[in-house]
Amino acid sequence: MKKNVVIMFFFLCFLGSCDFKKDNDKKLEINKEKAINEIVYKVKLDTLTLIDTLRNRKIPIAIYQPECQETIEKQELVIVNHGYFFNESDSYLKYSFIAKELTYKGYFVVSVQHEIKTDALIPKEGKPQVVRRPFWEKGVNTINYVIATLKNTHKHLNFDKTTLIGHSNGGDIIALFAEMHPNSIYKIITLDNRRMALPRKENLKVFSLRSSDQIADEGVLPTIEEQKKFPMTIVKLPNTIHNDMNDAATDSQKKEMLNYIISFLKK
């Protein structure tokens, strides 16, 4: 009888050790998968100027890409579009906190300069949807040119998963782009655009962060019913004003905006 008890004891210990090994193997697999998903890349930044010969127009861009030995196949593209800074030449560099954070996570990010010094200023008088429309259309043409150029120079990018991000006037530009070319992009993220209506499309994911101090024009934002009907999400930021939705933001404001942006990109 004692002999049987001893045998049974060792048998149970053996089973326990197997279960322990299996649990450890599962934990290792989970940790390995988690580590892969949380790779943090170093950022390589290049600035250059494209020339759109058809429009005889210079387009300064900043390319943020992960530093890695191997090409990231089907890498997702994000194009950042700045707010209006009265034709300041470095406007496209004022959203580096977004560009760098997304690059850390493996995205290929291009930040585009829309206005140049010789451009006319956006009119302050008149109905915004009318007087600003030509400026938005110019921005749409610029984005189209940038995407066409990247398709020739960076063929590894997954252009089916292109996301546009835009603040203020840059958000109005990408809203018009999405309305005109809904099949050219996958998602748009606007940071407090106020003039151009967000597109209501069944196959286009739309996300918008709203400031605490500015109100959008009537019809720009979807109703509750429209948010249920279309893939649209509107989030109010109670502690971030319109003019702080760029590199001027505090660390806590940047963290909040980035958490929302990254969460939406992963959906």
Q: Is 116 exposed, middle or buried (0-12, 13-18, 19+ CB in 10 A)?
A: middle
What is the number of other CB atoms lying within 10 angstroms of the CB of residue 3? 7
* pLDDT tens per residue, range 223-232: 999 999 999 9
State the pLDDT at residue 70.
Answer: 87
Domain residue limits, the chain? 41-266
Cα gap 171→198, rounded to integer Å: 9
State the pLDDT at residue 69.
Answer: 79
pLDDT < 70 stretches in the chain: 1-38
Which amino acid would we find at residue 229? Answer: K
> What is the β-pairing status of strands 108-112 and 157-167?
unpaired
User: 149 is written with which tokens?
Assistant: 């150029």
Alpha-carbon torsion (235, 92, 253, 129), positive or negative: negative
State the pLDDT at residue 15.
Answer: 38
Distances (CA, A) of 39 to 170, 203, 221, 255: 30, 30, 36, 19
Architecture of domain 41-266: 3-Layer(aba) Sandwich (3.40)
State the pLDDT at residue 38.
Answer: 63
